[in-house]
Each structure stands twice: as structure tokens, then as C-alpha cells.
Structure 1
């Protein structure tokens, strides 16, 4: 009896579960890609996959690594992307679940990570414009320098000048500018004004304010602002109140003038005009209405009067002074700045 022997040959094919850089690629970005990040904005990083014709791809995923080492989640899709707001060196990596065209087990194919760059564009050059009262307030007004662009921090310098065609004006320095000299068409610095906000007393004729701004890299920009004159102080009366020989002038109406200087430290002069004799008081109040000093109390003759207020014992802040008498009550504000 013959015996037959059967041989069975078993062939096994193994597939690596992770094959790096095999068959899948990015068309964008590439290792030579450079993206530009707008100043203060964001830039989109888009990706696109493609693959060899020898494989079938069921799904794509991409992941982004940021300059600080943090990573995005795996993003699904043959195309996609991220918005980024920082500059630096980024890395991108990809993976895809694939199968050979010749059949067999499906597996993950990985695209090796590679780097590309995001460069921060510089900010636009600095620019500035001024906002604030467009008419002299005959009080302390507030003007603001609005800056954009450039590199912070910024430095500020404020200046003023008068329109030579206007006959009279007063500033925080209290200059009598009838037929002015230094400040007529010449820019005068405003001492202590070195922030984006200017608190300043203006009254009288047409004037201009100017602010010079420099950013952290010393880029320079400047702006001017026209302030129309005000009838808050009639020019002749303004001159009267600044010269002793006019002290005995008899005014036609009650008037409480802005103190000079203002802001002040520690003393300032307050002038007021009364057209008739009577009992009068001039008192000082803090910002919450508490009386803190009485400068005048008694009988006064018609005329223009002045008195000095010494605030050496008081804290910096806004104070109110009030003239009362003959059924008249007039108040103004002043600023003590130590």
C-alpha cells in the first residue's frame, strides 16, 4: 500500500503598524514655508495632504506644535489649518490610515515632523491725533493724545502757541498775551505735561496745542489741535486783573475769575469783581462739599479784588471756591497738584 505525503506551505505577510514618511506628504506647508504675522493680528496656517498612487487613504490627520512646545489636537481632514497669533518656529506632523492597493491589512502611515517659520511683521509707523475741547473753556480743560502704531511705551511733550491775529489769551501760566511776544507764533513747552492726557487752563484768544510723541524705538510723530477763542474773559478785563493800576476799576458785573496759577502748589491767587458794596464771603470747599477755608468775610467796596489761598496743609486734588453776597453765588474749580 502506497502512502502519500502532503506538504502544506504557509506564507505569512506582516505589516508594520507605523510606517514613517511612507506614501503621505504635505503639499503645504513645506520646510521652506514662511508666514507673515500682521502686527496685532493673526495668520492662517493651512495644510494639504497628498499620497502615493500605491495606497488607498481612508483618513488624514494633522497636528501643529507651537514655538513654546504646546500642541494642537489632531485635526481630521485632507485639508485644514489653524489661526496663530504668535511668531516663531512651528512644527507640523501628519498621519493617515491607509491600505495598499494590493490588499492586505490597513495600517497607520506617519509623515515625519518638519519645521517652518512664522515671522512677526513690524507695526505700522506711529500716528497720533488730539481730542478735547475745541473752544477755550476758561477753566481747566482735558485734551488727549490718541496714539496708534509704533512700539510702546510712548513719551509725550505738549506745547501751546497763540494766534497772532487774536488780541488776548490766558493760559495756566497766567501770561498776559495782549500783543504777545514769546508765545506768538512760537511753540512754548507746557511744563510737567508728559503723559497722553493734558489738563490745562485756556481762556481768551485763538490758540493751538501740539503734542510730540516718540515710541520705544524713537520713531517721532506730532499732531496739532486748534482751540477757538472764548468770551469767558473779556480781553480788557483780563489785562485789568493782571496789573495793579487797574485794581480800583469799578466793574459793571459780578465776576469770579479763574485762579492763577492753576494747577498750583502750594498757593494761588483768586480775583473777583463786584459792582456794588455789600457783605461778601469767599470760601473754599473740597470735592465732597466740605468747607475747608474762608478767605473773605465782611464788607467790601465795589472794585476788583484779589486774595491768596495757601493750600500747604491740604492734599492734592480738585477744590471749589465760591463767592457769595448780594444774592449772588458764583463757583469755580481749581486743582492743587503737589
Structure 2
């Protein structure tokens, strides 16, 4: 009772204190309700966000991963177009399907090329050279990627030089093709290593040296064996740049682009299913000297199709038929699938 009387006495003695107390409580409640929520993402500096986006871009498995990032918010859309992010985009992040090809996709690849992405330079260069018929700009983009130590781009330019693609047959340059193939071989490209080996064996663009040629061919076969066994155990990425189990997406793009209409104008596709290159003029690719039913853009594709594509069996069937028809041993060419002239 004494406590209540003392409180009542204090209220009667100072009646304004209670009103001030109510006012302060209401003011604090209003401030708490109207105070905005703190967004921690907006507080992050741009440099930190760009670093995270660059790492995500380098590990992206498809172009849709980058698109999903840009759709998150306005800030992510702006930072996702930064040169630092586009330059580090992975090979799969710039690998567009032929059925998804459009003007926005073309602009996306151009933006990646302008940022200095060598994968995009190679991908767009191949599309322009073989699909769009823009030979000059396509070769320039592939050359830019090759200068950036892109092995597949250097080997593609070697194939162009060997065949004189995009020009007359007289524009073939075996010496330049050998130099480009040797550069790709130094970068670890398996098909380029095999091509260099055949160049030394045949003296095509390089001095003939059978021992050196055999060493390159053995090296290429050993790398393919390592690539085939890397899935079950350790992954020797230090010795392999181009794996047989991981084909280049741009080759699939070219195959999808032309489809079944590849022979409508008399131009042939490379018979190696994993290649996808198409002739730029008639009789550009060479045929198998034994059966004459298949053609290849390079000796590397020929060797791969001979062992992996099953041409060894079909070519031997042709040989057996010819021997049955000409038992006196008629000339059927090299059964190992060596190139024959047109």
C-alpha cells in the first residue's frame, strides 16, 4: 500500500512526466515501424561482386547459367555484362546450340569476343567461317584465339591452310598448316599431334622423318589412352588439353546447322562424326584410297574414324569384295585408310 501511495503521490506531484513517457514510447514505436530494412547485398562493393561473378562464369556449364544470373536483379544484370565476367566465361558458357542461334546470341558472343574471351573467339570464328560464309572475319577470330594459346583454334587454322579452305585449290599451304599444327601440338591437342606425325611420315609441309613421325603418332595414342582411363581413376589434366571423351561443342553446332542438307549443293561433310567440318568448295576433302566412299578434312580425322568410327571394318569388307572379284590381286589402294587424290 505504501508503494502505490508513493507512486500516486509522484504522479500527482509531476503529472507531465507520464505524458512525456507515453510520447516517447509512441515515437519509438513509430520509428521502429517506419525504419527501412537493411539490404546487405547493396552494401557489398562492386569489386567483390565482380570477383564472385567471374568465378561463377568460369565454372558455368551452359549459357543459361549466365542468363540466370542476369535475371536476378538490375545490379546483377549490369555487373554480369562486365568485361571481367565475360572474359572468364568457360567454354561451355559460350557454347550455343544451333537451334538456339539468334541475333541476341550472336551479340552475346561478340560481347565475349570484345572482352577478350578466347573460347568465344574460336566458337564464333568457326561459325562465321563454316556456317555463315564470312571467311575473313571467321579466320581472324580463330587467329585471335590461337594467339591466346587456344589449341583447337590453332589446329582449325592448320586444317584451313592444308585444304586451302575458303579459296581455290591453289591456295593450299602445307608449310603454314604444319606450323599451325605444330603450335597446337605443343599446346597438347591430340589431333594436332597426330597430324604432325603424319606430316613427318609423308614429308607433307615438313622434312620427311619416319622416326620422328612415329614418335608423334605414339604420343597421340598414349594421350588418347590416358583420356579414356581418366574417368575411372585420376584425372591427368596436366598432360591432356583435348580429350576424346569431351568433343568440342562447335563441331556439334556445325553438324546441327547443316543437318541432312549438307550435300544439296555438292559439298560434303567430313566423314568423321566428331568433326562436323564442311567443304567450302567441291572436292576440297580427300577420299579414302581403299574404298572411295568416305572423305576427311585431315589425316587426324581419318585416323580417328578408322579406329573409333568403325571404318576399319567397312573398308575391309570392301577389300574382301574386290579380292573376290579380282583374285589376281587388283590394286585397291592403301587398306589402312590413307588419303587418295580426287
Category of TM-score, reference length = shorter chain:
under 0.3
- Report the TM-score when normalising by structure 1: 0.28
Q: Larger relative CO (CA 8 A, sep 6+): 1 or 2?
A: 1
From the CA coordinates, give the structure whose radius of gyration is larger.
1
